Amino acid sequence: MNWIGDRIALLAVGVVCASAAWAILYYSGKWFFPAATVIGVLLLYRDNQRLRTLLKGHGIDPKRRLSGD
């Protein structure tokens, strides 16, 4: 694909993403930010659990605190 085609495709994807973001914000109204916050906190909790499992799998205690030394 040539560089003109790449740029046109990039612009098209940008327009689609901007349209989707506008539609989500417009139609969810005042509930977007509370819902996004709850989803974000749940995703952070799940990622934390995944990382703790990974640490346990490598024999590291995830509850151990590092000293400030």
pLDDT at 19 over 70: yes
pLDDT, residue 21, reads: 95
Residues constituting the chain: 69
Contact at 8 Å (CB) between 24 and 32? Answer: yes
pTM: 0.62
User: What is the average pLDDT across 51-69?
Assistant: 82
Tokens of 62: 């995830």
Task: Find the DSSP H helices in 1-69.
Answer: 3-28, 32-57
